[in-house]
Amino acid sequence: MSRLHLGAIGTVLATLVLADAFLGGWWGDPVSFTANPLPLVFWVDFWVGVGIVSGLVANVWDFISPVNWAGRALDRALARRDFAVRAYPDWLGVWPSVVLLLVFSWMELVWQKGDRPHDLLVVLAVYIVGQLAGMALFGAETWIARAELFTVLARTFSRFAPVEYFVRTEDGEVIGDPEAWIAADRQERGVRLRPYGAGIRREPPLLPGGGAFVVATLATVVFDGYHSSKTYATLVARIFPGEQAGSESVGTLAMIVIVGGFLLAFIAVSALVSVFEEGSVSRTAERYAPTLIPIAAVYFAAHYFLYWGYLGQLTPGTLADPLEREWVHDYGPWQPLSGAAVWWIQVVLIVFGHIVAVVEAHRVSLRAQHRSRDALVAQIPFVILMVAYTFSGLWVLGQSLREVS
């Protein structure tokens, strides 16, 4: 199987970074978030960086992921020994990734030990072992596309991105299928630019649970913004004054309420639209779920880009000195943007994503209704839902700006 040399180099670099981070997680500072490379690399560069790059540029994770590389190597080794893989249940879809998304979001935002290197190291070791076991049981590509959280996030957000991967075949082109792209000969592969959001209609439909994954991603980021606000801190102080355990309890409950509310709103709107269009509620949800990807992708980028750009500057120094032996002089990150500039960038991103989402929802509705007037009527509930999601995000961002100013 031929592979891009660039992908191989990226995989080697990502593996070295991960190994360095694990080294620091085990022997480095047991408490510090910025001095120890493991929490910095995982939460800033991997957790946030994968989502931003995938949504605004392209899906790169599929070609550099150390876990995916190890799983594919294991899959080939087992195939040579005639190991029979099990059939993955179709109904399960990406639901394992939805669960993992909520678990890791809870770890990052609510769990007091989520950024402690030793605790995070144990969690990631269990995650990697579980991923390799799933790839061995169900086949690497099947499991990666459904239950490897970062791959599902990258493939989902990259439908909004302007870079498109495709494979030239005798029957036409296969678009947006990383498995086919990796397996194809080099001369059959192609990469090209496309308008933002074009992948929503050009790539294959989302797998079962894909809509829930998109909505849960948006909801957890909104919760992150609310969780960091003074409004939330005041709420926690009133309910559990001075109690750390109480903070975790309120955070868990608030996260459940916000994520559950976003999901229920999506299901309710799907049920309403199904009255105007043919098909069940689930079929309607499947049709319109990809149109929410632009909102989720741009809000993820708007919320995290300053965090990523600011703390990400510390990564090289921390990786160069994982055990804090003073091999690298301490330095502070540079922040060139004012609070107002950050706010305007966030607003532009979110409004742009909202416009793309509305346009794509109209195209989906046209395919179902075939008449412009009926399509406009049918898509109104989803437009209202998109506006509600957008304004909730803007309100949370406004809370952060008010605290900065």
Instruction: Look at residue 402 in the predicted model and tell me its pLDDT.
Output: 53
Tens-digit pLDDT profile for residues 187-202: 888 889 999 999 998 8
Task: Answer yes or no: are the C-beta atoms of 148 and 157 closer than 8 Å.
Answer: no
**Residues whose CB falls within 8 Å of the CB of residue 155, separated by 6 or more in sequence, listed in order:** 54, 59, 62, 145, 176, 178
How many C-beta atoms surround the C-beta of residue 94 within 10 A? 27
Check residue 3 and give its pLDDT: 46
pLDDT at 404 over 60: no
Sheet containing 172-175: which strands, arranged edge to edge? 172-175, 163-169, 189-193
**pLDDT class for 236, splitting at 50, 70, 90?**
confident
d(CA 405, CA 142): 48
* In the predicted structure, residue 238 carries a pLDDT above the cut 50: yes
Question: Residue 6: is its pLDDT beyond 70?
Answer: no
What average pLDDT is seen over the chain?
Answer: 87
Number of domains in the chain: 1
Contact 363, 305 (CB under 8 A): no
Residues of the chain above pLDDT 70, percent: 94
Sequence-distant (≥ 6) Cβ neighbours of residue 32 within 8 angstroms: none
Q: What does the chain come to in residues?
A: 405
Average pLDDT for 139-144: 95
CA nearest neighbour of 57 among 190, 160, 166:
160
Residue 146 in this model has a pLDDT that exceeds 90: yes
pLDDT of residue 2: 41
Note whether 273 and 339 are within 8 A (CB): no
> 153-179: per-residue pLDDT in tens?
999 999 999 999 988 877 777 777 787
Q: CA 204, CA 181: separation in Å to the nearest integer?
A: 14
**Mean pLDDT across 326-346:** 78
Bridge partner list, 190: 166
Sequence-distant (6+) residues with CB within 8 A of 14 are 64, 65, 66
Range of the domain at 163: 5-404
The pLDDT-based confidence of 401 (bands split at 50, 70, 90) is low
- Give the residue, 224 or 232, on which the prediction is more confident: 224
Tokens representing 403 are: 């605290």
CA distance 278 to 272: 12
> Given a cut of 80, is residue 26 above it in pLDDT?
yes
Instruction: Give the Cα separation of 92 and 371 in Å (integer).
Output: 35
The per-residue pLDDT for 243 is 56
Which has more confidence, 219 or 182?
Answer: 219
Determine the average pLDDT of the residues in 109-129: 93
Residue 116 CA to residue 397 CA, distance in Å, equals 27
Q: Taking each helix axis from N to C terminus, what angle separates 210-227 and 230-239, rounded to the nearest 10 degrees?
A: 80
pTM above 0.75, yes or no: yes
d(CA 49, CA 70): 21
d(CA 400, CA 388): 19
Distances (CA, A) of 117 to 19, 251, 354: 14, 21, 37
Q: Tell me, what's the pLDDT at 94?
A: 97
